[in-house]
């Protein structure tokens, strides 16, 4: 059995576990959100679409389907997940930006399409005005991993090897991804220069790190199946504190003072959506993210359920746009 086939089997197994968790979630959840008696939103019989910029089966899709189950109950409405993959989320983002600002089309946003890519290329929307933030839904670490064949066993080992003059490579799922940003921030703060090897997606990137063709990569928590199976070694997490998913991997900030990166997913509505509708959605999502069954389903994929006010979410995106613009300029990052 080839490595790629084994990884595909793991992904299929993970997806199956997620589906079973979502099935239990559908049966077990009981959510009630107190909405104003005069609220006209949502209208009975009008479905709400939650648009995802990635194919079914990944972490964003697991989150969207868990949230849709909860939101359907919370709002007494039919919430439908609509996958519109392509261009690292830009296609889905633009679709929602152009939708009617009535609360019936929502977007599950990621840092890529909202705070990173607009600094690297011209996108067909203004992420600061084209979308109305509703709430952050989950946070998660990225994890630095290496192949056991590499001999790199810690972030300190990686830095020492790069400073010795050896050619050190890192893989990413593509130019402009959060994985590239994590690695380039590592480069800048550690005073090293790992060589970037971009791939068209995380699966081929992980395949070549497992095989030892590339030294390291920064992955999302779904890589846990490979670290637990001994195919990869977790060297550190990007968050300020430790991660329960990777207990043996300390925060990278312990080796590189000031290093921190927290990945997230959040929900947004088209710009111009009435405040009353945004507030109704915010209350409902906040309630859903506190449900034990939702927390359990998301934790199985390495995500920590949370919530925020619309203003807090907007401030987070503003801060990150500035942060990534600065890194992109200093590291001379391009899409070429």
pTM: 0.83
Tens digits of per-residue pLDDT, 276-288? 999 999 999 999 9
Average pLDDT over residues 291-302: 93
| Short-list 243, 248, 253, 251, CA closest to 302 | 243
| CA dist., res. 312 & res. 307, Å (int) | 10
Residue 1 or 268, more confident: 268
DSSP state of 112: I
Does residue 34 surpass a pLDDT of 50? no
| Confidence label for 275 from pLDDT (cuts 50, 70 and 90) | very high
Average pLDDT over residues 318-324: 96
Integer Rg of the chain from CA:
20
Q: How many CB atoms lie within 10 A of CB 329?
A: 10
| CA dist., res. 33 & res. 269, Å (int) | 19
The predicted structure's pLDDT at residue 22: 52
Tens digits of per-residue pLDDT, 69-96? 999 999 999 999 999 998 889 999 999 9
| CA dist., res. 216 & res. 161, Å (int) | 12
* Lowest-confidence region among 21-25, 138-142, 283-287: 21-25
The mean predicted confidence, pLDDT, of the chain is: 89
């Amino acid at each position: 059995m080839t490595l790629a086939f084994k990884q595909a089997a793991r992904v299929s197994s993970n997806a199956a576990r997620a589906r079973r968790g979502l099935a239990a979630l559908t049966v077990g959840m009981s959510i009630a959100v107190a909405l104003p008696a005069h609220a006209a939103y949502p209208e009975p019989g009008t479905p709400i679409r939650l648009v995802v910029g990635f194919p079914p089966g990944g972490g964003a899709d697991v989150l969207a389907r868990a949230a849709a189950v909860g939101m359907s109950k919370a709002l007494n409405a039919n919430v439908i997940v609509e996958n519109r993959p392509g261009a690292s989320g830009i296609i889905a983002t633009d679709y929602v930006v152009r939708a009617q600002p009535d609360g019936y089309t929502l977007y599950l946003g990621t840092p890529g399409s909202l705070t990173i890519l607009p600094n690297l290329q011209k996108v067909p929307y203004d992420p600061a005005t084209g979308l109305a933030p509703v709430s952050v839904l989950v946070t998660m670490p990225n994890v630095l991993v290496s192949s056991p064949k590499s001999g790199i066993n810690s972030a300190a080992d990686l830095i020492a090897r790069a400073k010795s003059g050896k050619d050190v490579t890192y893989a990413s799922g593509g130019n402009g991804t959060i994985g590239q940003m994590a690695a380039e921030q590592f480069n800048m703060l550690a005073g090293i220069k790992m060589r970037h090897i971009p791939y068209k997606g995380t699966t081929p990137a992980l395949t070549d790190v497992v095989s030892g063709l590339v030294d390291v990569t920064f992955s999302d928590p779904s890589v846990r199946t490979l670290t637990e199976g001994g195919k990869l070694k977790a060297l550190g997490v990007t968050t300020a504190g430790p991660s329960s998913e990777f207990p043996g991997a300390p925060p990278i900030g312990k080796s590189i003072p000031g290093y921190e990166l927290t990945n997230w997913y959040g929900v947004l509505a088209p710009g111009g959506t009435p405040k009353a509708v945004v507030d109704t959605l915010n209350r409902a999502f906040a309630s859903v993210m506190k449900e034990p069954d939702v927390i359990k389903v998301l934790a199985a994929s390495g995500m920590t359920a949370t919530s925020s006010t619309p203003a807090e979410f907007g401030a987070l995106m503003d801060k990150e746009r500035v942060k990534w613009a600065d890194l992109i300029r200093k590291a001379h990052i391009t899409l070429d």
